[in-house]
Structure formats: C-alpha cells, structure tokens
Amino acid sequence: MSPADPELLLRELDGWDRALCRRELPCVLPRLLSMYQNSDDWSERIRVLRVLTEMFLPHISLSELEETFFSKVLPKAIQLFDDLLYELSSQAQGLTSQNAELYKAVRDVLQTMVQLLETLTGCVRHICTLKETVPLESIRTLPSSILYVIKNTFMHCKDSESLYSGCLHLISDLLQSLFKEAYSLQKQLMELLDMISMESASAEDSIVDMVSVIDTVLGICSVISNMDHALHANTWKFIIKQSLKHHSLLQSHLKHKDILSGLCKDTLFSFHSCLQLAEQMKLSGTQASTDHKLFQKTVKLCRFFANSLVHYTKEFIPFLSDSCYQLHQLYLQIYSKFPPSMYAPVISEAHRDEIARVFLVALDPLIHQLLPFRPFLELVLSEKLDLSPELHLPQCLLLVTIMNKLRAQPEDVQALWTIRSQFSEEVSRLSLFSALFLSFQQCSGELSLPVCLPGVMGDGQAEVPVTLYHHVCVHLCAFIASTPPSHFPQLERALLDAVLGSSMITSLLAMDSWCFLARYGTADLCAHHVFVIAHLIQSCPGECYQLSVLGVLLRRMLFLMAPDQQVEFTQKFPPRETENLSLWQHVSLKALTPDLRKQVAHQLCVVGLAQCRQWLSSGCTLGELQPVNVALSILLTVCSSAGDALEAGPQVAVLEVVSQLWALLQVKQVSSQPCLQQTLCLLLPLLEFFIQRVDPQLITQVFTVQASLHELTPPDHVRLAALDLLSSMGKVVIPKEIQGQVIPKLACLFASLLADRTWLVYQHALEAFTQFAEATSHEDVVPLCLNCEETKDKVVCFLAKTRQGEETAEARAERVKWEKAACSAHALKKNTDGEWGSTAEPSAKRACHSPSEEQYKSALDTAEGALDAVKLLLQKGPAPAWLAVKLEALQTAITLLRSSVQ
Amino acid sequence: MQTPALSAVHLSEWQKNYFAITSDTCTPGQKADGYRAQILCIQYAWANSEISQVCATNLFKKYAEKYSAIIDSDNVETGVNNYAEDILPLARCQQNDNDKWQSSLTSSNVFELKSVQEMMQAGKKFQSSLMAPADAFVVVDKEVSACVTPCLPKLSVCSNAIETDLGASLSKCKSQGPDILQSPPSLNCLQNSVPSVTKTTDIFPSSSTSSNILPNTGVCATPLFGNNKAASSSSVTPQSHFGIGQNLPFSNQSSLLAGSGNPGKRKMFYTSSDESCSMNSSLAFYKTPINTEARNFVGNGNGGEESNVTGFKTAKEQLWVDQQKKYHNQPQRTPISCGGTKKSLGAGRSRGPFGKFVPPVPRQDGHENGGPHYKPHGAGPTESSCPVDERLKNIEPKMIDLIMHEIMDHGPPVNWDDIAGVDFAKATIKEIVVWPMLRPDIFTGLRGPPKGILLFGPPGTGKTLIGKCIACQSGATFFSISASSLTSKWVGEGEKMVRALFAVARCQQPAVIFIDEIDSLLSQRGDGEHESSRRIKTEFLVQLDGATTSSEDRILVVGATNRPQEIDEAARRRLVKRLYIPLPEASARKQIVTRLMSKEHCSLREEEIELIVKKSDGFSGADMTQLCREASLGPIRSLQSTDIATITPEQVRPISFLDFDNAFRSVRPSVSSKDLELYENWNQTFGSGR
C-alpha cells in the first residue's frame, strides 16, 4: 500500500476518504513528513503540504498537534517562503517586458507563494474550526511563523513598486492576489488568536509568546500604515483587544512604550492626512464628494485611533510613565495644527467643526485620565520644558483645560497639581499657576495677533469668540474661585511672581486675577494683600520697572478696599511722614471715601509742599533732588485724583512751588542729568493741571526751556512728557504780550515731535496735536506746526482715520511669528543677566551683543537647502495647489527681512 | 534701530486700536482688548529696544490705568466687572469656601521670593545709575541767557517773610564758594534767578493783606458748578441711583414706590441726596492765603490723566458717582431682606454661590463699626421703603417710570366754579366722585361709586376742564392719559401699558384715570381694524370691569369724547354714567365773559355784556374765550404801527363793545346745529342725565 515513489503515493492518497485517512494517519504521516522535508522541488512541496493540511491535519488531536505537525512542517514552510522571496527579489531587477521566460519564472514564483499562503490560511482556518478552546501552548510556533510570513509579504508588496521598477504592471495582478491572500491569512490568524485562552498554569512561556505576537503585529502595523485603512484599523483593534483581554497576565511584559508610540504616530499621521485633505478641498474650492467621503473616512479613522489610545491608557496607566512624553507631544502637535493656532493650515469652517466634533472630543478624555498620573504632571509642569514656538499656544490651552478639569477632581489630585515641588528628590516642577503664567508669557505672538477662541457659553446669549487673553483670564479666575484654602499660598506666590515678571501682558493678567481675587475673597484678605504690597513698595530702594508695576497693582487694589480698612491703611502708612511719600505717590485718591480723601489730600499737600520748599531754600543741590521728585509726584497724584477735595488755596500754593522749581531748570543740566529729567517730567503734567491759571511769564519760561531742550533731542520719555502739556495748551488763550514768543516755540516743538523717529512718540505726538488743534482758539498756529508736506498729509489721514501700511493676514501672521522670537529672546535676556535696572537711556544705544556670523550662515544654509528640496520636488511631479500661496508668504517674509537689514 | 517698514506696520496697528477705542460704538470688552493690544505694542517696542525702559514703564502705567478703569468698574456701560458674568457660571458648580482663605504672605516672608529679590537689586542698581556721585553737590541753577525776562528790571523789593529766608539761602550758597558752581558767571545768574523766584512769590504777599476777607471770597473757591451740578446730579432720577447693580432687581421698585408716594415726598428725597455735596471751605492752614485776583478756580479742573481714566467730566460728578459706586456696591453686606450683623465681605452664605460675587467695598449705613465720622449718604429711603408691592411684580420698571412721569398730572389747581354752567353734570360728578372719596365708609356696597363715567358733548365745552377739576378737588391720584400714549409702535406694548397703568393705579388708590378722546381708544370693534388696537381695547375693558377687578377697587375712569356714537357698546355698558356736556347757556356764557374780562382792562357796561351773550348763542366755551381774545386785540389794532414800540401797557385804551362787535365778525361758532342734534338724540338714547 505504500509505494516508495512519492509521486505514486500522492496520486494514491488523492483517492482516500476521511475515514481511510484517519486510519492510515499514523503510518502515512511520517512518510509524508519525511517526503516533505527532503524534497526540494517547490511545487511538490506545496502539494505535499496541501495534502497534509487538508487531509491529515484535521485528524491530529489537539494535544500532540504541536510536536507531531507544526514543529516539523512550519520551519520548512518558512524556509520555502524565504527561498521564494529571495528568488523573487533576485529576479525582479532583471525583469523586463522583453525576456518572457524570466517573466514567466517570476510569475511562477509568485504563484507558488500565493499557494503557500493559501495552504497556511487553510491550516489556520482548520484550527479555528476546532470546537474546544485552544490553549496557546498547543499551537506555540504557529502564530510567530505565520506572522513572519505575513509581515514579509506585506513588506514585499509595499516595496514592490521600487523592486519591480518599470514593469510592475506585468505582475500587478499576482501581487494583488498575494496581498489579498496575506490579508485573509492575517484575518484568520487574528480570529484564531481571539479564541485561544491563556489561563493555564504553565503560562510563563505562553506569555512570552503572546508578547512577541503582539510585538510582531505592531511591526506589521507600521508596515501597512498607509496601504489599507481598514486592515490597519483592524490590526490595531486586534492589538488593543489582545492586550486588554489578557490584561492581568501581560501587563508587566508588554512593551507599552512601543505600542503607545505606534498609536500616537498613527493618530498624528491620520490627523495630518485629514488636515491635508481639508486644506486641498479648501484651496481647490470644489466640494468634490469623493474628497469629502475620503475626508470623513479619515476623520473616523482618527476617532478610532483616539478611542483606542484613550482606552489603552485607561487600562495600563501605571505602566505608561515613560510614554507620557509622547502623549504630551501628541496633544500639543495636534492642537498646534488645529485652528485657532497660527501654524494651522487654512481649512473651511465645516471641516474644522467636523474634526473638532468627531476627533478632538474623542481625544479629550485622555487628559482626564492622565490628571492623577504623577509622571504626566511632572512632565507638563517641569521648569525646563522648552517647546518649539508653535507648541506654546497648545501648551497654554492644555493648562487651561487641565484647570477646568481639575475643579471636578478630588482635593489630593488638585494638591498634586497646584503645590510646587518642595522635596528635593522630586523632579523640580512649577505650580499650575506659575506654569500657566509662564506659558501665557510665551504666547506673546498669539496674543498680539490676537488669536480668538470660542467664548464661554453664556445662558441664552449667542456664543461670541473671545480673545486668548479673555479666555485665559476667565478660566484662571474660575479656577482661583474654586481653590481650596490649603492651596492659597501657592496662588499668592504665583500671582506675585507673575506681577513682577518681565512680560507686561503677563503682569496685566496677574493683576486682573488678583483684583478678581480681592473682589471675590474677604475684605480682610484684600486689606492684608494691600498692606503686604505697600510694605514691598516702601522697602524697594529705588525706582525700577517692577516698582511701578506694583504701584499700578496697589492703585487698583485700593479701589477694592473696604472704607474702614482704607482708614486703617492711612493710619498704618500716615501720609504725614515723608518716608511714606514714596508709597502714596502710587495711590489714586479717587479710591478713598470723600472725607478720608480730603484728609489725605490735605496732609499730602502739606508734606509735599514742605519738602519742595525745604529743598528750594536749602541750596537746591542735585544730591537731594530725588526726594523732591517724590514730593512732586505726590503733588501730581493729589492734584489729578483728589478732584474738588483739594481746595483752591493749596492749588495756588502748588502752582507757586512749581513755578519756583521751573525757574531753576537749566537746559544744559537737564539734558545731562537723568534726575533732573525726572523732575521735568513731573513738572510738565503739574503745569498741565494748572494750565488755565499759569501766568504768562511762566509759560514763556516753560516754552523757552522746552524749545532749547528739544534741540538737544532729549530721551524719549522726556519728549513724551512734553506732549501732554502741548495738547493741553489748546484750552489756553495765550495773552497777546507773550504770543510773539510762545507761538513760534510751540509750533517748532510740535513740528519736531511730529517728525520724531520713534514711532510711539510720533503717534502720541499725532494724538496730542489733534487734541490741540481741535481745542485751540489760535487757529493760525495749526498750519505753523505742519511745516513740511509729509507731516501734513500724515496728520490729515490720521484725522480721516485712514491707516497706511495695511498688511494682509498672512503677512501679519508671518510678522507676528517673527516678532514672537524677538520677544521671547528679550524675556530670556532679561531673566538671565537680569539687567533690569539698566540705566535710563534706551539699551539700543549700548552695543547689544549682535548674534555671531556663523549663526547667520547656518540659518541661511538651512533655508537654501529647503528651497533646493522644493525645486527637486517640482521637477518630479505636479506641485500641490497650496504651494504658490506658501511661496508668496515666504516672499513677503524675505522682503521684510531684507528691508530690516538695510 | 527699528526699520521704517516694520515701524509703519506697528504704527498702523496702534492706530487701528486707537481708532477702535475712541469710537463710541466700542463695547467695554473691545476697549479692553484694544488697550491690551496697545500694551503688547509697548512691550514689543521695549523688547525691540525702540523705547527706553523708563518710557516703557511710564506708558505701561498710563495705559494700565486706563485699562483697569474698564476692567474693575462694574458700571454696565463702561465696565467689564472683572468678567464676572463669564466667570461665575464656570465657578458655580464648586464649593466656595473663599471666606476661609488665609493669606500666607507676610511682610517678612515675601522677601524670600526670587522675583522680589530681583526687584530689590534692580532698585539698588537704578539708584546708582540716576546720578554720578561726583555731581551730587552740583547746584541746580538757571542759565543767564535763558532767564532774562522783560519783567526783571521793574522788580519791586518785596518785604515779606518768604523773601527773607530766600535771601538767607542766597547768602548760604555764596558762602559755599564758587567751586561748587561750575562757572563764576552763573554766580550772578543765581542772583537774578532768585529775584525771578521772588518775583513769582511777590504776587502772593501783596495779597496777604486781603487774607482777612477770605471767608466771603471763599465763594470763588467753591466749584462754579457746585450748586447747579448738585441739582443736575440729583435730577438723575432716584431709580438709576439704585438701579445699577444686577443683584438688586426688586429693591429698586420698592424704593421707587417710596420715593413717589406723592409728589411732595419726592422733593424730600432730592434734598437728602443733595446736602452731602455741600462744600466747606475752611482754609486757615495755608501760609499763602487765596489770591483773590487769581482767576476763579474753574471747578472742573480735570487736568491730569486721573479724571479721564474713569471718563467723568467733572470732579463733582465723579465724587457723586463714586459714592453711588461705594454704596450701591454693598447692599448684600447689609441686605434689606436679611439684616443681621455685618457679615464678612462677600462670604454671606444666604445668597448661594451665584450671588456670591460681591464687590468688597461695604456700605457703612446703620451700624458704625469703624470710621465713626462716616455718615450714611442718601441711604435712608431704601431702609424705610415699604416692602415690595407684589402687584408690581411682573411689570416692566420702564413702563412704570413712563406712567410715573408722563401721565401723572400736576397742572394749576382748578375748582368747580371755574367751570361755567353744566350744573347738572357738576352735581352728578360731585355725587359720584367727591363724596365717596370723603366718606368711603358710607359709599360701599350698592352705594359704591361707579367704575367709569363718560362726558360727551361738542368740542370746547369744558370736558377736559371737568376732568382736571375732578383731579384737584378729589385729592385722588389723577392720571390723565391721551389715547396716543397708550398705543405704542411695538405690537403687544399697548396692552402692557394699559395693564401697567391700572396696576399702578391700583397701588395708588383712590385713583382717577381721565382719558381724553376715549372714542379713538374704545371705538366700535369692527372686523377691519388692526389686531393690536383690538387687543388694547379688550385689555382696557377687562381692566375696567372684568373678572380680575375687585369691587372695592376705588378706581374711577373718566372718559371724554365728542363722538359718543362711535364708542363700543361693551365700553358704553361699563361707563355707567354718561353725562352730556351741552353748549353753555346764556348765563354760562355770561359767566365766562365776565370772568375773562374781569382780568382785562375793559369798559363794558352790563347791558353791553347781555348783548354780547345774546349774540353769542351757539358758541361753545372755547369759542367764547376765542371771542374775548379777539376783542382784547381790538385796541391794539386801532393803534398806529409807529407808536406800537413806544406805548406803555397803561396807555392802551380799554376794551369796548366796538371791539366785541368786530370780533363777532371774525369768530364763528365751531359747533353746527346738526352736530348738536346728534348729541341730543344720543343723549336721549344712552345719556344718563336729565
């Protein structure tokens, strides 16, 4: 019955029925196996393999399946597969349409590969049909080998385009079927693996197997990532399902980092393809239905990835400490490419909403889960988190969303986030408040654009978009409103640090939140804060930027104080003592109740006048001028904010002191001594306050000094101070006898200021001049001031409210990005070498250390490299539609750069 | 330095914000955004070292103050109220234990903060940079050339105390020796700078002699607008005084009511808010008393940027608004509804989280526990205001204002004998209106007064005059309404007005509602008419005598019309008493003429008057007055045009019969006999008179 010759055996076996096969199994099987082992003819091997799998495999019992069948058959099959593959890759280069036999050989090889895959699929399908549960050990080698085959097939299909270069079309049909076969094989295997159980005791090596299975499937995922969406999604679904199914067993062995990074990469990839599709549709303008359907499919894929990501992190959160970085970057990358970020592509409203509605909503729970996770928060709040510019806004928005979510969290989680890391061994991290202020400061570009975000859903009103500042301020205050008492110290420190920070807009935000805190908290708390700030102001040795910022904060807080505590404030810092003057100069008396205001105004006036008179009578040396400046600013505060609580008597006395002081000012000294310049800048507004009652002789003096001073081009703050007085001159009827002297000086002052090279001074000059021109009764002066043609038409178009230098949206975005870099560099420079209290004159005069040549060279090389790459791409294929627009934006950026270089 | 191209872009951006902020259609939120954009420009200019740090600091201070005026103010038009309305809904769902917040910052541990230490260093560095130690002793003095002012030579040696101590300082500088002064020539310039200094002071000493007249000249010191401003500021209706805060919806109606009980009471209200603005001018402490010649101090010295920060024109108004802001801010602290002890700011549990947001400046009325000298300002009326009138619950305050102002009548007093004739009507009205007012106890049940009466008759026969007379004589609150003020252009507004009218009337019982030309309001309800006027009619009828009105409501509606036949039958049914006001008979006409002529300078004999009365048959009351007026112009017409300018009133000749005769030629009766018939037979069918 068993003829020696294999050929005969095979032909004989064809006729056997099932019962015969089972009976003959023990004897026939070894012979077939040996025949299979040592035959080297591919087709014969395949035939033997098929016979084995179709006729004899069903009869092998599950228990000895592994040793009797798989351990012997599979290695050979893999080896066969490798040979075929090797054959293919070697012949592929030479394949051309001419030599038919090579072409036929390649086709044969492909054919055999397809058959091999079919048999393997049959084999796997058979095991699936077994009724009882299949333990992993019983099919230990099957999954790994099958996966090996699948992976390499897919790899082959993927680079077939480069492999077969020209004549892919000849064998594309076979490749197609090969791909399909691999596809079904993988599906079958996945189905099988779903069914197997791993609870058996000797789980150790099966765990290792399963982990390796998941790992190879992960590899497959990255191979097929852009070949077939459905397969890709199913593979991922398989990975997630398997790791979750055997959660307890596998959790410590799984390579979470790779899985997560794969997921993140794919999520980001599909998100970018969504954006590209949307952008193309927007640019091409046509709403091609195919594009739209593809777009919707990709968005659904994104959602799938987001869901699986969220699901995976929820299950394996304890093990994900080292992949927090990827999750954080993923979140930031996504939001940096999504409107309203400046770096987002231009897409239509509908698409944007669809992406938000479908994808971002699915992504949101990710943050919710990561809140209690310490490594994540240490990463987000770390001090040394330096992000590229486009990630600043997403980081800020992330912190705001974290704040919103934290409010619903238990107190210990809130403590994690808000308490700064005290213990040394912990990773140094900021409190949530300071982190928000820091990241807010970095968004200076987005703030000046301004970037608009959807507003808070008011009850009943339509949702109006709000600026970034408004958005952050509202959510920060809401978070402050819900801070538990235990976190309050952190809040205070963060607020004070932010107020004293280098960026004006951040200190503004801190001030607004502090005022909200003052209004929302108790009166004693507000008073306590005011006393601390006042104490700080008093103990600061000299004038500096932070001191004036604190002054503004004090001024605002005083408005919010309770009257009885305001009285306490005046008792604690009595206006009578001279050392309190430096404090009271910052306070606006409007904040005080009328009676208190009268008292304080009166006392301040007396002390201020005494100080000035004492200096006047004691030899007017420059050394003691500083207290006089303080006294003058006190008088200025009293005059401007006391309203009618200040009777006429003291006002006349103040005017008299002002005129005495003015008489002493000497141009040469003023232009050289910063201290005197400060006095001048205080005298001018005081004069402006009394402008109606200043006697003519003093006005002439003022204008002579001003005119000659401005010839020496004083520093910008002195020029600025002159403007207030000039604009108030509109209200004054200049008496005849001094018109001859004053009018020409007034005109030339205005002319020089209207031609100022610092644009801020020039703008304030414009504003002052328009106020003056509208109010003045001396119409003839107005043309005198506009001596040259250019200033004339500038003033005219300012009056007509038309603006030159209108810039397009793209140019504006480009400029803002470019300026953002300058701003952050400046902030860095301020913090590092702390040259805060730099001397009065602008730092431009000092040679700021210009960046070295190689920095320029390297930047330009990269730019050239990029341009060459684009040139190459253009030769290769048709350029995408949006390329022209991008080039045009680059063009404007280059012109801007060139104009700033000349 | 900044390149021209980039600075142009910044300039245009700044101007964009500037135009936005200064345009009056700009909402506070947009203004805040505008200021922030400008602050960002300043920050970038500083970062780009276009402007110096001092300049940046000054600009930041200036614009931050303007910005904070918007952010911190809770006035709805100009302020954003710290974005409270956005923040509170967000913060609502959390537990609010902000009253347990304890500050951990103390004046000692605050110095541990890195940023504070940085500030201290910056302060020290700045101090040294301000002035090189070498020229600490340089004297600040005047250059010779600059200070040669024409007024120098005629300087008169002044003799008062100030000049002497200045002289002393002069000698002291000289004794310090020339080396301190940079150059010897500046020595003598110091001399002439000193005189110029003394020159300015000499104005004052000469006036010191006039110091004793200080108290009475003090008037120039009080701000010019002091008095009228107070009136104008108090003319701001009490409603707005309380209407600002959103957390006070009910109390302003109640205070409304308290203020408007009766016209007299409102006056009191004004005075109370006025006395706090009075000015005292004790100026004794100043060494140099007021200089009378100094131009009168224009009270509204609003120089300096402080006052325009909050955008108020005059300091007086600013003062007034500030007090409102202070007092209105804090009703919660001593809430009317639950008095109790002074709760800590904003932490009162009773109002729940949403009401939580309370500006911290408490109002100190009632119990003084700090600042004893602190007198409550204008707080009195809110305390004693009657509890809210639930009948006014769902009526719009705006309409109530309208009704309060426009419709409540307070013309010159009219009494019964001013109305000539129509004795029957006068008698009935007295019976229906005046007596029930006097004796509400008798006139109850069946004897209760009717809800409505109708006066009909030809135009110009005194129907309106009767209405006015009812008002004055009955002492009831009198609402005089014309049909037009009830129908408004908004659909649905009309019947709300009617409902509001009757609701207010119900609160002000006893009330008389006089409606002129009632026919236009209650005309026959045909199908063609506009749907809104139909709704007004039904509302009116329901209010007049519908299901809701209670019988003992003492509200009387007096309708006057000269087309009674057009009135809707349902209305006719409700205006139970329909009195016909006929043309004045001879005696009535006689009475009108005698009364009018008594005030004029005329020489009419008795029989002439009789003749006039006879000739003026068919004249209505208005026609009679027109006749007398024409006659009184007679003497004027007879004068030549030349001496019209020079003649004194006494020289004009008295009015004679001749004038009346000519007047008869130009004045015709306005009522035709046909109209009269119409009234006659309407009176027969529907009239309730004789």
3-state secondary structure of A735: coil
Q: How far apart are CA B589 and CA A152, in angstroms?
A: 124
Q: Are B194 and B46 within one domain? A: no
A638 touches chain B (CB under 8 A): no
Tokens of B661: 């005769």
If one compares A740 and B186, the residue with the highest pLDDT of the two is A740
* CATH code where residue B506 lies: 3.40.50.300
* A41 burial type by CB count under 10 A (0-12 exposed, 13-18 middle, 19+ buried): exposed
* Separation in Å, CA of A650 to nearest CA in chain B: 7
Is beta strand B452-456 parallel, antiparallel or unpaired with respect to B555-561? parallel
Q: Tell which B residues from 137 to 196 touch A, by Cβ distance under 8 Å.
A: 137-143, 146-147, 149, 151, 165-166, 168-169, 172-173, 176, 193, 196
Q: Is B689 a domain residue?
A: no
Please state, in angstroms and rounded to a whole number, the distance separating the CA atoms of residues B426 and B157.
87
Domain check: are B657 and B570 in the same one? Answer: no
Query: What does the alpha-carbon distance between residue A703 and residue A726 come to, in Å, rounded to a whole number?
Result: 10
For residue B191, the distance in angstroms to the closest alpha carbon of chain A comes to: 12
- Is residue B678 over pLDDT 90? no
In the sheet that holds B452-456, the strands lie side by side as B477-482, B511-516, B555-561, B452-456, B577-580
| Residues A432 and A403 sit within 8 Å (Cβ to Cβ) | yes
CA distances from A113 to A117, A182, B476 (A): 6, 10, 111
Residues 221-240 of B with CB under 8 A from A: 221, 223
Give yes or no for a contact between A348 and A278, defined as CB atoms under 8 angstroms apart: yes
**Residue environment code for B170-191, b if the CB has 16+ CB neighbours within 10 A, otherwise e:** beebeeeeeeebeeeebeebbe
Residue where a domain terminates, one of B548, B580, B612: B580
Average pLDDT taken over every residue of chain B? 63
B671-B675-B681 Cα angle (round to 5): 140
Set of chain A residues whose Cβ sits within 8 Å of the Cβ of B35 = none
Task: Characterize the bridge pairing of strands A452-453 and A466-467.
Answer: antiparallel
The partner residues of A804 in beta bridges, in order of sequence, read none
Q: Give pLDDT, residue A529.
A: 93
Asked whether A895 and B3 are in contact (CB, 8 A), the reply is no
Distance from CA of B203 to the nearest CA of A (A): 10
d(CA B221, CA A647): 7
**Cβ of A844 and B50 within 8 Å?**
yes
Per-residue pLDDT of A607-626, as tens digits, reads 989 988 888 888 778 878 88
Does B120 contact chain A (CB < 8 Å)? yes
* Closest Cα in chain A to B175: A619
Q: What is the C-alpha to C-alpha distance for residues B618 and B610, in angstroms, rounded to an integer? A: 15
Q: Are residues B449 and B310 in the same domain?
A: no
Residues in chain A: 902
- B624 has a pLDDT exceeding 90: no
Select the more confidently predicted residue: B506 or B546.
B506
Is B628 within 8 Å of B680 (Cβ atoms)? no
pLDDT tens-place string over residues A804-822: 767 777 888 888 888 877 7
Min CA distance, B349 vs chain A (Å)? 13
Indicate the range of A401-405, A781-785, A852-856 predicted with least confidence.
A852-856
Strand positions, DSSP E, A512-603: none
Chain B interface includes A691 (CB < 8 A)? yes
Give the 3-state secondary structure of residue B455.
strand
Same domain, B77 and B129: no
Residue B451 · residue B555 · CB < 8 Å: yes
Q: For residues B556 and B553, what is the distance between their CA atoms, to the nearest angstrom?
A: 9
Q: Give chain A positions within 8 Å (CB) of B298.
A: 692
Query: Is B375 part of a structural domain of the chain?
Result: no
Mean pLDDT lowest for which of B172-186, B534-548, B599-613? Answer: B172-186
Q: Lowest-confidence range among A162-166, A496-500, A723-727, B152-156?
A: B152-156
Residue-level pLDDT at A327: 92
Query: For A73-121, how does the pLDDT look when each residue is reduced to its tens digit (9 = 90+)?
Result: 888 888 888 888 888 888 777 766 677 777 888 888 888 888 888 988 9
| B86/A458 touch (CB, cutoff 8 Å), yes or no | yes
User: Amino acid letter at A883?
Assistant: L
Cis peptide before B372 (omega within 30 of 0): no
B49 CB near a chain A CB, below 8 Å?
yes
CB A737: neighbour CB atoms within 10 A? 11
Distance from CA of B460 to the nearest CA of A (A): 54
Contact A556 B42 (CB under 8 A): no
- For B464, other C-beta atoms within 10 Å of its C-beta total 17
Q: Which residues pair with A129 in a beta bridge?
A: none
**pLDDT number for residue A84:** 87
Residues in B closer than 8 angstroms to A815, CB to CB, are 6, 9
> What is d(CA B190, CA B172) in angstroms, rounded to the nearest whole number?
12
Which chain A residue lies closest to B12 (C-alpha atoms)? A803
Of the residues B580, B596, B626, the one at which a domain ends:
B580
**Residue A785: is it exposed, middle or buried by C-beta count within 10 angstroms (0-12/13-18/19+)?**
buried
pLDDT greater than 90 at residue A435: yes
Nearest-neighbour CA in chain B from A229: distance (Å): 41
Write the residue in A559, A562, A815 that is nearest to B362 by C-beta.
A562
Tell me how far apart the terminal alpha carbons of chain A are, to the nearest angstrom: 100
Percentage of residues in chain B with pLDDT exceeding 70? 55
Q: Tell me whether residue B360 is in a domain.
A: no
pTM flag (> 0.90): no
Give the whole-angstrom CA distance, residue A255 versus residue A247: 13
Q: Is A649 on the interface with B (CB under 8 A)?
A: yes
- A531 to B71: CB separation less than 8 angstroms, yes or no: no
Which residue range is the domain that position B463 belongs to?
416-580
Instruction: State the DSSP string of B105-135.
Output: --TTGGGGSHHHHHHHHHHHHHHHHHS-GGG
Span A470-493, average pLDDT: 90
| Best CA proximity match to A871, nearest among A879, A882, A861 | A879
Burial (0-12, 13-18, 19+ Cβ within 10 Å), A186: buried
Tokens, residue B311: 């955008």
Element (DSSP H or E) covering residue B559? strand B555-561
pLDDT of the residue at A469? 92
Tell me the sheet residues that pair with B453.
B558, B577
Q: Could you tell me the CATH number of the domain that includes residue B606?
A: 1.10.8.60
- Give the number of A-B residue pairs with CB atoms closer than 8 Å: 548
The answer to whether residue B682 sits within a structural domain is no
Confidence of residue B316 (pLDDT cuts 50, 70, 90): low
Exposed, middle or buried: residue A253 (CB in 10 Å: 0-12, 13-18, 19+)?
A: middle
CA separation for the pair A857, A836 (Å, rounded): 31
> Three-class SS of residue A665?
coil
* Residue in A450, A543, A594 closest to B33 by CB: A450
Residue whose tokens read 């719009």: B396
Distance (Å, rounded) from C-alpha B356 to C-alpha B95? 11
Give A248's contacts (C-beta < 8 A, 6+ positions apart). Answer: none
Confidence of residue A554 (pLDDT cuts 50, 70, 90): very high
> Is residue B676 situated within a structural domain?
no
pLDDT over threshold 60, residue B225: no
Tokens in use for B562? 């000269």
Grouping H, G, I as helix, E, B as strand and the rest as coil, residue A135 is strand
Q: What is the rounded distance in angstroms from the CA atom of residue A500 to the CA atom of residue B173?
A: 44
Residue A843 confidence (pLDDT) above 60 = no
Give the domain-ending residue among B81, B100, B132. B81
Run of H or E residues at B580 = strand B577-580
Q: What is the DSSP letter of A389?
A: G
Q: What is the DSSP letter of B143?
A: -
| CA distance to partner chain B, nearest, from residue A432 (Å) | 17
Structure tokens at A709: 């001073």
- The pLDDT of residue A472: 93
Q: Do the domain assignments include residue B223?
A: yes
Highest mean pLDDT among A210-224, A828-842, B1-15, B655-669: A210-224
Band (pLDDT 50/70/90 cuts) for residue A462 is low
Evaluate if residue B278 carries a pLDDT over 60: no
Q: Are B98 and A522 in contact (CB under 8 A)?
A: yes
b/e map B305-314, b = 16+ CB within 10 Å: bbbebbebeb
To the nearest whole Å, the CA of B516 is away from the closest chain A CA by: 43
Tell whether the torsion through CA atoms of A803, A807, A809 and A812 is positive or negative: negative
Question: CA angle at residue A721 from A716 to A723, to 5 degrees?
Answer: 100
pLDDT of residue A810: 81
Do B305 and A724 lie within an 8 Å CB cutoff? yes
Same domain, B502 and B572: yes
Average pLDDT over residues B625-639: 82
Stronger pLDDT, B276 or B126, i.e. the higher one: B126
Q: Which amino acid is at A468?
A: L
Q: A107-120 pLDDT, tens per residue?
A: 888 888 888 889 88
Q: Establish if B408 belongs to a structural domain.
A: no
Give the DSSP letter string of A250-304: HTTTS-HHHHHHHHHHHHHHHHHHHHHHHHHHHHH----HHHHHHHHHHHHHHHH
Cβ neighbours of A660 in B, within 8 Å? 197, 200-201
- CA–CA gap between residue A732 and residue B75 (Å, rounded): 33
Q: Is A78 helix (H, G, I), strand (E, B) or coil?
A: helix
What per-residue confidence (pLDDT) applies to B273?
30
Average pLDDT on B403-417 reads 69
Cα distances from B615 to residues A675, B596, B598, B663, B666, in angstroms, run: 98, 17, 20, 11, 13
> Collapsing DSSP states into helix, strand and coil, what is residue A494?
helix
Same domain for B222 and B282? yes
Answer yes or no: do B433 and B507 share one domain: yes
Q: What is the mean pLDDT of residues B256-275?
A: 29
Q: Which amino acid is at B235?
A: S
Chain A residue numbers with beta carbons less than 8 Å from the beta carbon of B193 are: 663-664
A834-863 residues touching B, CB cutoff 8 A: 834, 836-844, 848
Nearest to B116 among A500, A549, A622 (CB): A500
* Cα B323 to the center of its chain, rounded Å: 16
- β-bridge mates for residue B555, sequence order: B511
Task: Output the pLDDT for position B1.
Answer: 37
Give how many domains chain B has, as a whole number. Answer: 4
**B596 and B568 within one domain:** no
What ipTM does this complex have? 0.82
pLDDT score, position A459 = 59
Task: Kindly state whether residues B575 and B596 are assigned to the same domain.
Answer: no
CA distances from A811 to A330, A736, A814, A816 (A): 29, 53, 5, 9
Is residue B117 located within the same domain as residue B48? no
Record: contact A519-B82, CB cut-off 8 A: yes
Contact B55 A621 (CB under 8 A): no
B24, B142: one domain: no
B118/B176 same-domain check: yes
Across the strands, what pairs with B653? none
Using the beta-carbon criterion (under 8 Å), do B12 and A805 form an inter-chain contact? yes
Coil, strand or helix: which one is B414? coil
Q: Are A546 and A518 in contact (CB under 8 A)?
A: no
A68 pLDDT band, cuts 50/70/90, is confident
Lowest-pLDDT choice from A665-669, B339-343, B395-399: B339-343
Whether the predicted pLDDT of B155 surpasses 60: no
Tokens in use for A766?
Answer: 């414009």
CB contact under 8 A, B360 and A519: yes
> CA of A674, closest CA in chain B: separation in Å?
6
Considering only CA atoms, which of B624, B632, B622 is closest in space to residue B599? B632
Whether B625 maps to a domain, the answer reads: yes
pLDDT at res. A3: 46
Q: Closest Cα partner for A654 from A630, A677, A626, A683?
A: A683
